[in-house]
Structure formats: C-alpha cells, structure tokens
Chain A
Amino acid sequence: MTPKTIFQKIWDKHVVHQDANSPAIIYIDLHLVHEVTSPQAFTGLRQRGLKVRRPERTVATMDHSIPTVPLSELKVFDSLAMAQLDQMATNANEFGIRLYGMDSPNRGIVHVIGPELGFTQPGMTIVCGDSHTSTHGAFGALAFGIGTSEVEHVLATQCLLQYKPKTYEVLVNGTLPAGVSSKDIILALIARIGVGGGTGHVFEYRGEAIRNLSMEARMTICNMSIEGGARAGLIAPDDKTFEYLAGKPYAPQGAAWDKAVAEWRTLPTDDGATFDKSITIDANSLAPMITFGTNPGMGMKITDRVPDPDTLTDPLAKSALDKALRYMGLQPGEALLGKKVDVVFLGSCTNSRISDLRLAAGLMKGRTVAEGTRLLVVPGSQEVKKQAESEGLDEIFKSAGAEWREAGCSMCIAMNGDQLQPGQYAVSTSNRNFEGRQGKGGRTFLASPLTAAATAINGVVTDVRTLIG
C-alpha cells in the first residue's frame, strides 16, 4: 500500500462523492457554531424550509460579541450585539442544537470548549464559521474555517464541497530553549513563509519539538496555521492526545474508548509518505518572537530591530512595510525592547488555556503590573476560569493589579467593548495584529504569554529571559 499522510487518511475516509472537474463532497463529523457567522445561515434554512440534518453533530456557543464583565455589573451593552446573542439562542432552540449560552458554566471560546468537552477527537472532520478552527488540528483532526454559505450547507446536509488541498510538512527539530514557547515556533514559521505561504495547503507539524509539546501548546501552533495561509494544520495524535481526552464529557467511554484509541493509533503519517512542500525549523535556534507590523508575518526575534523598507526591492512589499510602520508609529531600525506598552492582553483562542494562565501567573507571582500599563486576563472558557480560580491564579493576577474577566474572545476582536484606544500599544497573546483588530487605531504586538507577562511587569516590551535568569 502507498504510504499516506494523516491528512490523506482522514480525507479518504470522508469523501462521500466525487465527480470529475468538481470538488469532493466530504462528510463533516463535527460542526461548531457561534453567534457572529451563523445568523444568515439559519435564515437561509428557514427560507428554504430546511432542518438541521444532524443536530447531534452540531454544537453552538457564544463567544465573539459576549461581554467579559459579569452581566450583573454590566451598565450598558451594545443592543446590536445583544440582538445577535438572542438570535443565536433562538436559532439553537428552534433547530434543536446544543448551545453553551450566556448562563452555561461550560461557555467559552469555541476553539477552547470543543477540546475541553471532548467533542474534538482524532480523525474527525471539523468545521466552524471561523478561520481559527484550525486549532482542533492539534488532535489529529482535519479542521478548518468556512464561510456562512458553507455553514448553511453543513447545517442542511452535514456535507461540504471541497477541493483537496496540498500538504505541507513543517518539521520542527531540536529542543526549545528556556523562555521560548510554542507561540514562538508558529510566529517564527509565519515570519519565514509569510501570511500567504501556506495558501492551498494543509500543514502537518512534526518532529521532536512538536512531540514534546503539551496538547495545549500544540493547539496554539495549529490555531495560527491560518495566519500562514493554510486553512488547516494537523499534529498526529499520540499518548498525550489520548491522555488529554480520556474522561472528557463527550469523549468515548469504556469499550468504545478502547476501540477509538486503537483506531486513532492508525492515523499518524506512514513512513515514506510524501508532502507537496516541506520546511525545517531548528527549535534550538528559536528565541521569543514579537510582531512589529500589521500582519502576523511581520515578526522578528524580540531582540531584533524593526526592518527598513528601503532594503526591499519589490515595490508592493516595500509600500506594505512602509504603510505598516506608519500605522504602528515605528521607525526602521528601532528596537522594540523597552518600548512603552499601554495594554497587555492575555487571552484568545491562541493562548487563554489553563497552561497559558499558569505560565503567566508563575511569572507574575510576587510582582505587580507596571504603573501606566493595563493587564487584561480573559480565560478562554468558564471552565478554564474556574480551574484557574481553584489554583489561586486569579488572586495572583488581581493582586498584581490585573483585570480578571469572564470568558470570551474579548480584545482579540474588540467586538464586545473590550478594545484599545486609538494610538495605544498592546502586547497581545492573540493571533492577529491587523490594523484596528483590537480597536480602531490600536497597535498590536503579538507575542507569547510569557512575553506578555514580562511586558506587563515592566510596562515596556521585555525579553522574558531577563526575568527568568
């Protein structure tokens, strides 16, 4: 038999039908839904008189426009956002879909709760009207974001039309140095290949450094696959994956569990399987990364200096960098280390899980947030929040002067009132530094939770390695 990649194995198992010169019809095992990209899809169903084909394979939550201060303390809330949240509840109710709504103790960012509740499993096809669906690839699932028309297709048919993407091996060898985390691996990859580098491809992250990462750290990497242009990024499942999933509420139990694990063990890429493209990264040579520009590919080692547009020859690339630096208020050759930061945001589906909060809290313990800097800590789910509180992490953050919030997307997308003011600088653990992403006129430096915590302590962009000695 020809050796296959994990992607190929999952793809082959899900093709329902394939006509010549047409995309394949693939079956979707799990459809995650949130309030922002689904209302028009449900409207479409109503107009066509259709039902949701597999409500049991559909899971909804509220995360994007949800407030992160407790409702009881909320003075004003955007009526449009409220209407959207209400609409999600109405749609879930009318179409019989499980919803982790406003009052649910399991509510949270869709890409945090999927794995947390055990919905996300190896070998599955998973979609959501959200580009960071790639996160679930950390479990060896083929997971990618879709548009609202496709949300409607999947609701109605549990199927999707897809051309088969190409494969792209990302081999990460070696061991990560102290102070360097999985966020730095993915930022380094995107800085190398650019935000369009993976277009048309699915990444598979492999190698010793990936194997050594925890499940949560793997999710951070897969999460940002889309930032490198790839719709999906996978990591083959292993014992860590099974350990993480064992006992989760919606993971298989008992004999079904043993059967599932046996099947999951057949998923990893066969020896000798080939990829359409490949890149190798040496983990030993990595350092904490930070972005300086207005897309996630504009990143560098935190000790580097902002590049000079005049050194670029391609006129479009040059004007892009020039425009980015003007927006960011940065000079070519400037160092970011020591740059005053107004806000530090610790959150988002990239870095808001318990291990992220533990890392940051470990550094914050006994220290305080610098005067003139605001640290906003937003757990990825209510479950993460509860866990953090049971470990006393909330006390560490609060006594350091940070704001401790309810779960949600929050300042990652600035739809819920948590936002930067024009001109403000932020170090954020989220995934996008596009113009205005965290609030109109706001300027974002993307970095790891460790870099974020170190920066909050000093009030200026800080190399965490100087604090961990």
Chain B
Amino acid sequence: MSQFTTLTSKLIPLPNNDVDTDQIIPARFMKITDKNGLAANLFFDWRYNADGTPKADFVLNMPQHQGSNILVAGDNFGCGSSREHAPWSLTSWGIRAIFSTSFADIFKGNALKNGLLPIEVSPAVQESLLALTEEAPSATVHIDLASQSFTLPDGSQHSFGIDPFAKICLLNGVDQLGYIQSHEAKIAAFEMAH
C-alpha cells in the first residue's frame, strides 16, 4: 500500500451529496482482472459527452485542477457498492485525500487500504473549504497525518479523527494482511474450538 504522511495540494470542489460508487466508476468498467486503466474511466459519465469528448464544465477536466490531489465533496461520499475499483480509480487519477462531512462505511475502509485519506469535517468546515475553492482557487491546503491536522492558507489549523490502526498502516505504507497473519496461532486455536 502507498504510504501517506503529508500532502500539500490545491482543492478540487465536487459539492455533490451522496456521490455513489456507480458514478465514481461505472460498473461497465469493472470487467477488468487487474487494477490498471481506471484513471481514464473515473467519473466517466460525468466527465465525458456521448461522443467521448471531455465535458469542459466538469471539474476533473478543468485545466486548473490538473495535478491536484484533494477533493472536497458533499455529504455521504462513496455510498453504494463495495467496489474497491472506486478508490483504485480515484488514486490512479491522483486523488490522495477527500474532505466530506461523512463517508459510506465500505468506501471508507477501502480508501484507507489504498493510501487514500478520507477526512471527516463539520458542515461549517466543509463550507469554508468549498468557499476557498471559489475565492482562492490556487491556494493550497496542507495535510499532516501524523498530527492529524490540516492547515488552510490563512494559517488556521484544524484537527481530524482517524482510526488509529489505519493511521499506523498509512504512515508506514503497510497493509493489514500482515497484522492478521501475525495472529496465526490464535486463528488456529479459534478454529479448533469453533
């Protein structure tokens, strides 16, 4: 898994509520057997016209957002299916952190396993982040996972919560399988008694 320590980036506004995983990556692009090629299909139906040309008014197509790594979303981001193709497609496009007031459970777990940081903020902070994308579109936000905080261009600092276990995995870029495997003796004993 890719490591996550700090990130400094401009913000990409996507102020939609309940963005579901079928929008993030439509099911027809899930006929793959690897994890490659997903960036091109991220938000496909919102991103391209029927003739395949990019929609100029969709945020990911705007020149000023190329190379940015942070999404500011509406409420309840990532609802719907369990497809891990959703975080795979987001990270392969370059998204490494998402601000929202809440995330769907399965999406959140999947994101954390793929070096993508879901940051839960209050509606007021969400509003100020969205305002920032309009008022100072080239300003950057700095995220520091170790101290669980992010800093806005005006210098104000905000803290955020994260599952302590996922935090350690992200900071070290290690996945969870190793942790489970290290308890092999307990699993074997459990199976005997179960």
Contact = CB atoms under 8 A, between A and B. Distances in A.
A200 B105 contact: yes
B187 A159 contact: yes
A149 B166 CA distance: 14
Contact of A195 (B34, B50, B79, B175): B79
Nearest to A154: B180
Interface stretch (B19-27, B63-71, B148-156): B19-27
Contacts of B191: 27, 158
A171 B93 CA distance: 44
B106 to A, nearest CB: 6
A393 to B, nearest CB: 29
A323 B58 CA distance: 14
Given A16-B183, A422-B50, A36 B30 contact: yes
Interface in A61-107: 64-65, 78, 80-81, 83-84, 87
A39 B33 CA distance: 5
A320 B79 CA distance: 14
Interface string A140-163: 000001111110110011111101
B66 to A, nearest CB: 25
Contact of A21 (B113, B164, B183, B194): B164
B76 to A, nearest CB: 4
Contact of A43 (B26, B34, B164, B176): B34
Contacts of A48: 177
Given A146-B82, A229-B105, A25 B180 contact: yes
Interface in A413-453: 413-415, 422, 432, 434-437, 440
Interface string B133-173: 00000000000000000000000000000011100000000
A226 B194 CA distance: 29
Given A130-B81, A437-B22, A16 B190 contact: yes
A22 B166 CA distance: 8
Interface in A108-157: 129-131, 145-150, 152-153, 156-157
Interface string A37-53: 10110010000100000
A432 B22 contact: yes
Contact of B75 (A40, A163, A196): A196
A316 interface: yes
The CB with the most chain A CB atoms within 10 A, among B20, B74, B163, B181, is that of: B20
A84 B31 contact: yes
Interface in A361-387: none
A153 B187 contact: no
A147 B113 contact: yes
Contact of B76 (A23, A78, A150, A199): A199
Contact of A320 (B17, B45, B105, B179): B17
A147 B17 contact: no
Contact of B181 (A17, A37, A156, A316): A156
Given A22-B179, A196-B79, A319-B16, 5 more contacts: A27-B191, A40-B35, A159-B187, A195-B79, A323-B16
Interface of A: 16-17, 21-23, 25, 27, 36-37, 39-40, 43, 48, 64-65, 78, 80-81, 83-84, 87, 129-131, 145-150, 152-153, 156-161, 163, 165, 194-196, 199-200, 226, 229, 231, 295, 297, 316-317, 319-320, 323, 413-415, 422, 432, 434-437, 440
Interface of B: 15-18, 20, 22-23, 26-28, 30-35, 45, 50, 74-76, 79-85, 102, 104-106, 109-110, 113-114, 163-165, 175-177, 179-181, 183-184, 186-187, 190-191, 194
